Amino acid sequence: MNFGGQTPTIVVLKEGTDTSQGRGQIISNINACLAIQDTIRPTLGPLGSDILIVGSNGDTTISNDGATILKLLDVVHPAAKVLVDISRSQDAEVGDGTTSVTILAGELLRESKAFVEEGVSTHIITKGYRKAAQLAVNKIKELAVHIDRSNEIEFRSLLEKCAATAMSSKLIHQNSALFTKMAVDAVLTLDQDDLDESLIGVKKVPGGGLEDSFLVSGVAFKKTFSYAGFEQQPKSFSNPPIVCLNVELELKAEKDNAEVRVEQVSEYQAIVDAEWKIIYDKLEAIYKTGAKIVLSKLPIGDLATQYFADRDIFCAGRVSSDDMERVVQAVGGSIQSTCSDIKPEYLGTCEKFEERQIGGERYNLFTGCPKAKTCTLILRGGAEQFIEEVGRSLHDAIMIVKRSVKNNSIVAGGGALEMDVSKYLRDYSRTIAGKQQLVVAAFAKALEVIPRQLCDNAGFDATDLLNRLRMRHSRGEIWAGVDFDSEDISNNMEKFVWEPALVKINAIQSAAEAACLILSVDETVKNEESSQPVAPPRGRGRGLPRR
């Protein structure tokens, strides 16, 4: 077919599709990530500020946790979402350093922006960044200090110092002595083989002060919905047998989804009697087990509640699955789905059970559990948003302690490690030739954003402190970092500003990966819904129904 020497226009993508590509697209993506970085920059460090976020439904959140802020920000830019993802992965993997990883990724992109504008291929930049990240990780492993686990006192001291460093930038840093002990006790309560943090329950009770928070070595949960007869039940036991059920103990449960046909009125009474007999047989079977506490995931009705009250048995229905799972882990036994044939080995026990008033709520507390692989943190505070932030801060500290238990190698915080790795990479860059030298040096400069931002947020002279830090590190003082107490420089290893090496390794790896990923994208294709009306099928009038 002859087109008269002209190339025909071929439409591949449907109308309304937005495409943009080239160097301008890369710079646009970098700028979007820098906007995210600028948002959470002020929250870094012990003297960082908090951000108040108001959701679309009017809920307010006050936090300086990077992952929480980015999760609540409704980020729509596809490239900027990468920073949100690395912050979340840092939170899931390590628990702390969520702000640092985002700021570092943004700074790597800021350094690469000049190269892109000058026409350097992004492949050269990503190759240099990957090489520098690998060198940085190796250097951190080399610098990390290993703590001997055989000395229990020294090891516990390590955990408390790591937790205190994680809390230094949180709202609760004024009460860090109380909460570091709680975080370490909570993690050491768990089974040391798997350290499942989901077995650490957190209950938030408004009212009181922060110092009223405490740790229950066992399980605590809020008093469940109760029927008449509940107040007659005993609320305190010593060494009670405990049975955990997944059974509904209500009369109506026996007549649901059933159809019965009777021919005589006397037969109806026999059916009613049979229903009562079924539930009484269940209750009698539970009573014969000798259990003094009956817990069930499903409702326990007013008939059963009164039955148990008459026999000095405590019961609670509608216990949540999480709480029930932790009760079983703590007291032993197993959850039963039938009331018949409950053997003694299926029952659990604890030294003391009591129902206690905590603030404006009643709580059931199981303490002195023989299989105590679980614990509960009761958090108090004035405002609801404040308690929520306390919970997030404790989660970070608990995750840090958990990682320190598994990987007992530490480094100094306060920008000390970043400055030493930066010096190492800068020295290395001078040994190589070509563009890679500039890229590795740019990576080294990007690492300095952490101590610089720490100084800016604290109101210190960042330029002066950074120059002095470079001088100290060039002399071989590897742990010289920012000292917030004296507004000067100190040996942060001796000042006990400790962090698990895993936090830093994960942050550098994630930040480098995110930067390389964003730099490797030079085209965006955005599919929009076509605004053109769809033409009706041939042979039919517009709007006419099919015959």
Q: pLDDT by residue (tens digit) across 158-216? A: 888 888 888 877 777 777 788 888 888 888 888 777 777 788 888 888 888 888 888 88
Q: Is it the case that residue 11 has pLDDT exceeding 80?
A: no
The CA distance from 74 to 5, in Å, is 51
Distance CA 44, CA 53 (A): 17
**β-pairing verdict for 60-63 and 51-54:** antiparallel
Confidence of residue 17 (pLDDT cuts 50, 70, 90): low
The predicted pLDDT at position 111 comes to 92
At residue 402, does pLDDT exceed 80? yes
Average pLDDT over all residues of the chain: 83
- On the question of pLDDT at 385 being above 60, the answer is yes
What's the pLDDT band for 18 if we cut at 50, 70, 90?
A: low
Query: What share of the chain in percent tops pLDDT 70?
Result: 91
Q: Where in the chain is the domain with CATH 1.10.560.10?
A: 17-146+412-527
531 pLDDT tier (thresholds 50, 70, 90): very low
Every domain of the chain with CATH number 3.50.7.10 lies at 218-254+264-371
- Name the more confident of 170 and 43: 43
Question: Residue 8: its pLDDT value, please?
Answer: 64
The pLDDT, as a whole number, for residue 541 is 43
Question: What number is the average pLDDT over the span 441-455?
Answer: 93
Neighbour-count burial for 239-271, b at 16+ CB within 10 Å, e otherwise: ebbbbbbebbbbbebeeeeeeeeeeeeeeeeee
pLDDT at 536: 47
pLDDT at 507: 92
Architecture of domain 218-254+264-371: 3-Layer(bba) Sandwich (3.50)
Phi-psi region of 240 (alpha: psi -120 to 50; beta: other; left: phi over 0): beta
- Among the listed residues 101, 82, 41, the one whose alpha carbon sits nearest the alpha carbon of residue 507: 101
**Direct distance between the N- and C-terminal alpha carbons of the chain, in angstroms, rounded to an integer:** 42
What confidence category does residue 540 fall into, taking pLDDT thresholds of 50, 70 and 90?
Answer: very low
* Count helices and strands in the chain by DSSP H and E runs: 16, 21
Which pLDDT does position 173 carry in this prediction? 75
Q: Tell whether the model's pLDDT for residue 272 goes beyond 50.
A: yes
Amino acid sitting at position 299: P
pLDDT in tens, 493-502: 888 888 888 8
Which of the pair, 290 or 372, is modelled with greater confidence?
Answer: 290
Which sequence positions are flagged as catalytic?
65, 98-99, 396
If one counts every other C-beta atom within 10 angstroms of the C-beta of residue 168, the result is: 18
The pLDDT of 431-451, averaged and rounded, is 92
Between 272 and 438, name the one with better pLDDT. Answer: 438
Pairing between strand 214-216 and 375-381? antiparallel
Q: Which of 384-398, 412-426, 462-476 has the lowest mean pLDDT?
A: 384-398
Query: What is the arithmetic mean of pLDDT over 433-462?
Result: 91
Q: What is the DSSP letter of 530?
A: -
pLDDT of residue 431: 92
Three-state DSSP state, 281: helix
Is 533's pLDDT higher than 50?
no
What would the CATH number be for the domain defined by 17-146+412-527? Answer: 1.10.560.10
With bands split at pLDDT 50, 70 and 90, how would you rate the model's confidence at 545?
Answer: very low
| 223 CB burial (10 A radius; 0-12, 13-18, 19+) | middle
Amino acid found at 161: K
- Tokens representing 299 are 């409702």
Quickly state the pLDDT bin for 252 (edges 50, 70, 90).
low
What burial class does residue 525 get, using C-beta atoms within 10 Å of its C-beta: 0-12 exposed, 13-18 middle, 19+ buried?
exposed
Q: CA 19 to CA 533: how far, in whole Å?
A: 22
pLDDT of residue 23: 79
The yes-or-no verdict on residue 134 having pLDDT over 90 is: yes
Burial 390-410 (b: 16+ CB within 10 A, else e): bebbbbbbbbbbbbbbebbbb
H helix or E strand, kind and range, residue 31: helix 23-40
At residue 485's C-alpha, the angle toward residues 416 and 449, to 5°, is 35
d(CA 236, CA 45): 46
- Report the pLDDT value the prediction gives residue 129, as an integer from 0 to 100: 93
Sign of CA dihedral 101, 103, 106, 112: negative
Q: Can you tell me the mean pLDDT for 103-116?
A: 92
For residue 536, what are its two tokens?
């009706």
